[in-house]
Structure 1
Amino acid sequence: MRTLALDDEILLTIDKPARYIGCEVNSVMKDPEKVDIRFAMCFPDVYEIGMSHLGIQILYDMFNSWEDTWCERVYSPWVDLDKIMREKGIPLFALESQEPVKDFDFLGITIQYEMCYTNILQILDLSGIPLLAEEREETHPIVIGGGPCTYNPEPIADFFDIFYIGEGETIYRQLLDLYKEYKRTGITRREFLIQAAGLPGMYVPSLYETAYKEDGTIDSFTPKVEGIPRTVLKQIQMDLTDTYYPRKPIVPFTKITQDRVTLEIQRGCIRGCRFCQAGQLYRPVRERDVEMLKQCAVQMLDSTGQEEISLSSLSSSDYSKLEELVTFLMETCRERMVNISLPSLRIDAFSLDIMGKVQDVKKSSLTFAPEAGSQRLRDVINKGLSEEVILKGAAMAFEGGWTRVKLYFMLGLPTETEEDIRGIAELSNKIAALFFETVPKEKRTGQVQIVTSTSFFIPKPFTPFQWAKMNTKEEFLDKARLTKAAVREQLNQKRIKYNWHEADVSMLEGAFARGDRRLGQVIRKAYEKGCLYDSWSEFFKNDIWLETFEECGLDIDFYTVRERALDEIFPWDFLDCGVSREFLKREWIRAQEGIVTPNCKRQCQGCGAARFGGGICFEKRNAEGEIEDGAAQTLMEYAHLHESKETAGCPEEMILKEMCANDGEGGAQA
């Protein structure tokens, strides 16, 4: 008989008790006596945020498809329950069984953003698991981290036994089998971790050590145990069609951030924006088969009763079968009274035509992401979007009946000038003016509204801008004030609403993004002083963070406003995300020269992702946009050469030059 971990008295006194009771539709229950492995899958934020994350849904489905494994879910208790659990000594529990997390075999934590680091310590602390991996014993769960922040895991390395680098579908089965052998043979926890470090994509921080130079930069990063790899290569699922995908996603009892069915249509992005970490980490672009997606959509809608379906991708417009898929969904969803959401579309005639069909009754707002206010700066960041295209897209949107446009920009980009900043306000004004020029007065259904938002640029690992310096807090705020003043100077200022991000949070995120293992002590001390839910502005305690940096003898500016030398060793250099450092360096130099790099469909740039043996790297097209025979074989030969280091000293773009000779406008349009 399942017993709730929280009694009625507690449930009646806390906010949204449905967060903690489990038993949602499509959640999985198993007999704990009939499984070999108990896996607690954690998202270190509140339930409404964590339940919206597709990655956990995929892994939850995969783990529970195995008879020997029961995967359950864990989220960060909200501050009201956190206090009660500490006062009453209630251990953190999994939703499905309501049993303590400390009794599980694994605690898997997905790390989607840097500002959840203190929440990770909350999870460990409330579970009764020692915060430091070195203090854990045989009875404690193996704590494993995954997600985009593991591409620089060093600031939180002390708290994890293992990091899984890459996409979760590939190696977990091998890891769980190794764990079963560990339990059967009775080897020590350390021996298990050493064996786990030999699996592809597995990074065990305790088996590596860092040496520093006098200036605080890294001198070396080396394994402490013979036989474990010096470089950890990311794992990637190349076949996105015949793999795990939840046909019966969990339906929450309470409203969550993204309360809809999510259909992931592809991974990766062809665009190559130089600030975008996801665009580099998820290379190469891989598509799901359209027939599989049609089948999935119907099954998920049938099994959930959801009233909206969203197409998930970094750039949905680039999915080759988008029109066919949307046409199918429109027919299917019309019968079921289901809405279709299409985020991540480029604003062009094709995309607006699709949006117009989907939103033929109610025109919600459209989102443009110019990122920079001037064409010069858009070239620097390789946005691949001209002002002409932006204005043409806005005009078509207004003609199509939209009246509300959201614009997203960044402040503090490399080489930014005052002219670039003023360009944000000027572009916003041009778009507002375009409404009055485009839509006759008698056809206007409402007033135009332009919502212009700026965030502060944060350099991230494995991007061409990983060498760049951040602006200081004062510089960020000055630039936000300049933007606001420039908006007020515009003729259509009353039609423009301007918002900007918090500078303090951005500075801390910047430190964590490129930080090293020394930051672990800062994170732990800040947590012990009460820092929690740092991504929530009402709980962020900047003064405590700055105080803690000082107490630990570390300068936050060392991690943020300092520009890196091209040959500096980064904390993440022992990881291989598939994109070579030489490619990123080349793009950093091109950025400073304002040179645009064509997208992957127009011309292969030899980034290194071809080694994975599939995706867009193998889709060599002729002038008619047709995939040419023999392209895959050529790329396989390139991948072999790359791996065997036979091309040492030979620039990758030269190796691929002949291969890409026919990749022109035809390929781009395919």
Structure 2
Amino acid sequence: MRKLALSDEILLKIEKPARYIGNEVNSVNKDVSKVDVRFAMCFPDVYEIGMSHLGIQILYDMFNRREDVWCERVYSPWLDLDKVMREEKIPLFALESQDPVKDFDFLGITIQYEMCYTNILQILELSQIPIHAKDRTWEHPVVIGGGPCTYNPEPLAEFFDIFYIGEGETVYDELLDLYKASRARGDSREEFLVKAANIEGLYVPMFYEAKYHEDGTLKSFGSVREGIPSIIKKQVVMDMTKAVYPEAPIVPFIKATQDRVVLEIQRGCIRGCRFCQAGMLYRPTRERDVDTLKEYAKVMLKNTGHEEISLSSLSSSDYSQLKELVDFLIEEFKGEGVNISLPSLRIDAFSLDVMSQVQDIRRSSLTFAPEAGSQRLRDVINKGLTEEIILDGAGQAFEGGWSKVKLYFMLGLPTETEEDMKQIARLADKIARRYYEIPKEERHGKCQITASSSFFVPKPFTPFQWASMCTSEEYIHRAYVVKHEFQEQLNRKSLKYNWHEADVTVLEGVFARGDRKVGKVIEEAYRLGCLYDSWTESFHNEPWMEAFDNMGVDIEFYTTRKRELDELLPWDFIDIGVSKQFLKKEWERAESGTVTPNCRMQCSGCGAAQFGGGVCYEGKN
């Protein structure tokens, strides 16, 4: 019988003990004596968040298809268990075997969000693994990071042995085979890492050095060891239909953030919004074959017992076979109580027709993401939405039976003026007005327009990577400008406005474009008690400010400082396919308010065609 790492006494004292016991439906258990490599796959947040992450489910399935590998899962313990584990000196453990993570060959950490960085140090410390890569020996797992934040890995460089740059389905098998061969040969850890650094897409930070000008900007960055590549090339899966996909995903014991079957219909996005990192990182756009998706849907619902299926992509409306897929799902599961979820839809007649078939209109709300209130600023960010399209879409939605709309905006975008800010409230009011233009007897309940503002964070590998950020005080000022304008609107009783935390946004901005000097701040903040910084109830800004002071690091160097186009950026050694020249051109087009057509309308020569597939390859239109 499997022995739990936590005693019954501890499990009874902590919140949601089901987070830590494993043994869920479709989880994989193997005989440890019959595998050569043990891989702990970690999401540095609570179980409910981590269990909703598709990337880990894909890699978990892919690794466990190998007879010589056993991949298990580990998540950040919540604050209550964290305290107990430190007091009782209980090492962090994997869910499947309940064995200590420190006994594994690999610890793979997916890094989805900058505000999880202190949780990564929590994972290492609770696992009793040295926090700094230079202090590890073969007695410790190889710590490898993946996910979108690794496209600027430098703030975390000291804490990881390897970063995997790109999509995980490509070279992991090569790395695992190399590891087995290295251990069999008796290679040192350093010899293994040298060989790993020569696998395309793998970045081993200890073999690279940053040098700085007196003003703190990067002077040079490169490998310090002969035979180590100077450029790391992003890994891309071109044939999405043949790519591995979990047909029996793990079913959590407790409700996860996304408690449903997820069908990834495509990767990439044709739209080219200039603020959007994912839209650049995941180019080119690649679709999964619709017949394959139909089979996955049937098999996955059968294997999980879930009652909802979600079609996942950055822009679902752009999937060329969406109508056929949705029609099939509606017909196939008619009368079985299966809900169909369609996030990331553009609001047009087709999308509204699809949503009206799969949603309970009376209870659901529509989501628009205009991002900016004025047409001028939407052109700057290349949103590709006119006010006419937005209002027509809202009008059609209201006529179709919806009465609730959520609007998402950003404040602090490049070139933003006070007039642009006020237009957020005015656009919301115009949408409400559209509702009240419908005859009273044809309306469906009370109109509710909820607008939310996040604050703009410039991200690497976007045309806005050179842009300045605002201070937290300036972000709050802008939010109050918008709030005041909402109070001036004719339909203010139908309007609601809220905004995100400015202090968190500033930190996110530092980590997004930070260099290696930022790592010591993260470590210091962790020592001062910062943990679960993405959770409002546990975020505290004061110790972060103390950490920056203690380490002598200037926040505004990373946030408000203007960057010149010829400045060497900390992530310039990574090749994502999209060229820096293209990003510069898009930055210049943004400054002039010039719109760039989407990839299906016209190829803009971003560079992603080098991968030999996807929309840009088919089109070159």
TM range (shorter): over 0.9
Q: Secondary structure at the match of 1:40?
A: strand
Residue 372 of structure 1 corresponds to which residue in structure 2?
Answer: 372
State whether structure 2 residue 329 is matched by structure 1 residue 346: no
Deviation, structure 1 residue 332: 2.1
Matches within 5 A, 1:223-622: 223-359=223-359, 362-437=362-437, 439-620=438-619
**Letter in structure 2 aligned against 1:225:** R
Give the secondary structure class of the aligned counterpart of 2:310.
strand
Q: Give the deviation of 1:331 after TM superposition.
A: 1.3
Aligned to 1:60: 60
The code of the aligned residue for 1:369 comes to: A
Which residue of the partner structure matches residue 186 of structure 2? 186
Whole-angstrom CA distance in 1 between matches of 2:616 and 2:168: 22
Q: Tell me, in whole angstroms, the C-alpha distance in 2 between the residues paired with 1:443 and 1:334.
A: 28
Which amino acid counterpart does residue 478 of structure 1 have in structure 2?
H
- The answer as to 2:105 corresponding to 1:105 is yes
Alpha-carbon distance, 1:334 to partner: 2.0
- What secondary structure does 1:194 align onto? helix
Post-superposition shift, 1:472?
A: 1.1
Q: Deviations over 1:590-622 (max 9, x none)?
A: 0000000000000000000001010112222xx
Please name the residue that 1:72 is paired with: 72
- How far apart are the structure 2 equivalents of 1:267 and 1:292? 15
2:373 and 2:221 map into 1 onto residues whose CA distance is 40
Q: Match of 1:520, as an amino acid? A: G
Q: State the Cα deviation string for residues 467-511 of structure 1 (Å, max 9, x = none).
A: 000011111010000000000000000101101000000000000
For the 8 Å contact 1:454–1:501, the answer to whether it is kept is yes
> What one-letter code is carried by the residue in structure 1 that aligns with 2:146?
G
Long gaps (5+) in structure 2: none
Change (3 A) 1:70 1:238: same
1:551 shift after superposition: 1.0
The alpha-carbon distance between structure 1 residues 492 and 362, as it changes in their structure 2 partners (threshold 3 A), is: closer
Asked if 1 retains the 8 angstrom alpha-carbon contact of 2:362 and 2:401, the reply is no
* 1:412-471 C-alpha deviation (Å, 9 max, x unpaired): 00000011000000000000111010x321122210000000000000000000000001
Partner of 2:50: 50
Amino acid at match of 1:618: Y
C-alpha contact (below 8 Å) 2:403/2:448 kept by paired residues: yes
Q: Which aligned pairs between 1:620-631 and structure 2 lie closer than 5 A?
A: 620=619
1:120 aligns with 2:120: yes
Q: Any conservation in 1 of the 2:46–2:77 contact (CA below 8 Å)?
A: yes
Report the CA distance between 1:198 and its aligned residue. Answer: 0.1
2:146 corresponding residue in structure 1: 146
Q: Please report how far the alpha carbon of residue 563 of structure 1 lies from its aligned counterpart in structure 2 after TM superposition.
A: 1.2
Query: Does the aligned pair in 2 maintain the 1:213–1:219 contact within 8 Å?
Result: yes
Q: Percent identity?
A: 70
| Separation of aligned partners in 1, 2:472 and 2:590 | 24
Q: CA deviation at 1:360?
A: 5.6
CA drift at 1:363: 4.7
1:23 maps to 23
> Could you tell me whether the CA contact under 8 Å between 1:105 and 1:140 is conserved in 2?
yes
Does the aligned pair in 2 maintain the 1:407–1:452 contact within 8 Å?
yes
1:529 maps to a residue whose letter is L
Aligned partner of 1:487: which letter?
Answer: F
Assess, with a 3 A threshold, how the Cα gap between structure 1 residues 401 and 136 changes in structure 2: closer, same or farther.
Answer: same
Q: What residue identity is the alignment partner of 2:491?
A: N
- Within 2, Cα distance between the matches of 1:349 and 1:323? 12
Partner Cα separation in structure 1 for residue 333 and residue 306 of structure 2: 11
Query: Contact 2:362 / 2:444 at 8 angstroms: preserved in 1?
Result: no
Partner secondary structure for residue 170 of structure 1: coil
For the residue of structure 1 that corresponds to 2:334, the secondary structure is helix
Q: Give how far 1:182 is off.
A: 1.1
CA contact (8 A) 1:333 1:340 kept: no
Query: 1:146 Cα deviation (Å)?
Result: 0.1
- The superposition leaves residues 124-174 of structure 1 with CA deviations (integer Å, 9 ceiling, x where unpaired) of 000000000000011100000000000000001100000000000000000
Separation (CA, whole Å) in 2 of partners of 1:163 and 1:68: 23
Per-residue displacement from partner, 1:518-565 (whole Å, max 9, x unpaired)? 111111111011100000111112111111111111100000011100
Q: Distance in 2 between matches of 1:362 and 1:6?
A: 45
Contact 1:94-1:101 at 8 Å conserved across structures: yes
Contact 1:317 1:345 in 2 (8 A): yes
What do residues 55-96 of structure 1 show as CA deviations (whole Å, max 9, x unaligned)? 000000000001100000000000000000000010000000
Instruction: Return the alpha-carbon distance in structure 1 between the equivalents of residues 362 and 264 of structure 2.
Output: 24
Normalized against structure 2, the TM-score is what?
Answer: 0.99
Aligned to 1:633: none
Q: Alpha-carbon deviations, 1:307-330, whole Å to 9, x = none?
A: 111000000000000000000111
- Contact residue 232 and residue 575 of structure 2 kept, 8 A: yes
Q: Counterparts of 1:433 and 1:287 in 2: how far apart (Å)?
A: 38
* Contact 2:398–2:443 under 8 Å retained in 1: no
User: Is the partner of 1:320 in helix, strand or coil?
Assistant: coil
- 2:268 and 2:359 mapped to 1: Cα distance? 26
Cα distance in structure 2, aligned partners of 1:362 and 1:260: 22
Query: Do the aligned partners of 1:453 and 1:498 also contact (CA within 8 Å) in 2?
Result: yes
SS at match of 2:335: helix
Structure 1: distance between partners of 2:191 and 2:520:
26
Compared CA separation, residues 217 and 155, structure 1 to 2 (3 A) = same
Does the 8 Å CA contact 2:241/2:289 hold for their aligned counterparts?
yes
Once the two structures are TM-superposed, the CA of residue 358 in structure 1 deviates from its matched residue by 1.2
Aligned equivalents of 1:306, 1:332: Cα separation in 2: 15
What are the superposed Cα offsets for residues 7-52 of structure 1, whole Å, 9 maximum, x if unpaired? 1000000000000000000000000000000000000000010000
In the alignment, which residue of structure 1 is the partner of 2:200?
200
Residues of 1 paired with 2:562 and 2:311: CA distance?
38
Question: d(CA) in 2 for partners of 1:334 and 1:108?
Answer: 40
Does the CA contact (< 8 Å) of 2:414 and 2:467 recur in 1? yes
Q: Distance in 1 between matches of 2:332 and 2:470?
A: 49
Residue 361 of structure 1: CA displacement?
6.0
Q: Secondary structure at the match of 1:334?
A: coil
Question: For residue 82 of structure 1, what is the aligned residue in structure 2?
Answer: 82
Aligned 8 A contact 1:363 1:401 in 2: no
Once residues 461 and 582 of structure 1 are traced to their aligned partners in structure 2, the CA distance between those partners, rounded to angstroms, is: 14
SS in 2 for 1:619: helix
Task: Give the Cα separation in 2 of the matches to 1:203 and 1:333.
Answer: 45
Alignment-mate amino acid for residue 535 of structure 1:
S
Given that 2:415 and 2:591 are in contact with CA atoms closer than 8 Å, whether structure 1 keeps it comes out as yes
Per-residue deviation, 1:362: 4.5
Task: Provide the C-alpha distance between the structure 2 equivalents of 1:550 and 1:119, rounded to a whole number of angstroms.
Answer: 21
Q: Is the 8 A contact 2:115 2:508 kept in 1?
A: yes
2:492 & 2:78 partners in 1: Cα distance?
A: 40
| TM-score, length basis structure 1 | 0.92
